[in-house]
Amino acid sequence: MKSTPFLHSALWIGPLLVFLIVQPATGACESPEAIFRWVIQELKIEQPFEMPAVRFVERKALAGILVQSNINAYRLWLSKDEPTQAEHMRKHYLDTIVGVFDPKTKIVYIGDFLPDCRRQAVMAHEFVHYFQHMTNGFNANKIYDQSALRSVMEFQAYRIENRFTKQFCESRDLPVNKPQMIVSN
């Protein structure tokens, strides 16, 4: 995710050699640390939290992590729904997974197959789940139905992901490269 400038052109202006460096444009939230701080600000979190580790993995590894970290949810689906419906839900999640927060290890996993800005937006989404876990999410005493609680938690995470996308990704249709001048004599 780190952008590397490259030499676009150089020209002589009198005794000075001017290099025109082209730096790929990036949003204000390109690093995991910056995204983490942005999510803290968006969620209005006042207490300090250590940033969780972030790992970029391929889809197959991501699916394995999802299965391991959500085995209890799958068992719950099996107990409440008929097995074919539970398996259908599991397959849907495995086919569409792009990120996961593992509460046991406190690691955020993001698909390395995603385009940069999508990967960053998914990271913001998973950081929301990290904070939900660390702060006990919503007041679970007020929401007795666990599926309703999960829906509310997902809604909050998607809201932040969408806000990130609007603020940092949709504005990237500006010129891809921003010229930057470095003067040398």
> Residues 29-40: pLDDT tens digits?
589 999 999 999
Residue 80 confidence (pLDDT):
72
How far apart, in whole angstroms, are the C-alpha atoms of residue 175 and residue 177?
Answer: 6
Of 167, 165, 164, nearest to 36 (Cα)? 164
When pLDDT is averaged across residues 156-167 and rounded to a whole number, the result is 95
Each residue's pLDDT tens digit, 92-137? 878 889 999 998 899 999 999 999 999 999 999 999 999 999 987 6
**Within-domain flag for 99:** yes
Question: Which one-letter amino acid corresponds to residue 106?
Answer: K
* 89 has pLDDT over 50: yes
Choice among 5-9, 75-79, 121-125 with the minimum mean pLDDT: 5-9
Tell me which of 107 and 3 has the higher pLDDT. 107
Q: Total domain count for the chain?
A: 1
**Within-domain flag for 55:** yes
Tell me the β-bridge partners of 107: 53, 102
Verdict on whether the full-model pTM lies above 0.75 = no
Q: Which two tokens stand for residue 9?
A: 């052109």
Domain that holds residue 55: 32-171
